[in-house]
Amino acid sequence: MVYSILILGGYGNFGGKISAKLAKDLSIRVIIAGRKLQKQRAFLQKSGKKLDSRLM
């Protein structure tokens, strides 16, 4: 079973650390969300993890 977790502010300092840790678990689908598109893209590019993203 795969669980989906939405993290608001998932690419900020604290949220980014949580997102990166959870993304290592294959049974978790991590969805990060926030308000800043550039910051979101930079985080996704840097992380290289299996993350989905949404702009709020």
* Residue 52: per-residue pLDDT: 74
Q: How far is CA 55 from the centre of its chain?
A: 11
Question: In the numeric block, which tokens belong to residue 10?
Answer: 């998932």
Model pLDDT for residues 5-43, shown as the tens digit of each residue: 999 988 888 998 999 899 889 899 888 888 888 888 888
Instruction: Indicate the pLDDT class of residue 4, thresholds 50, 70 and 90.
Output: very high
Instruction: Indicate the pLDDT class of residue 56, thresholds 50, 70 and 90.
Output: low
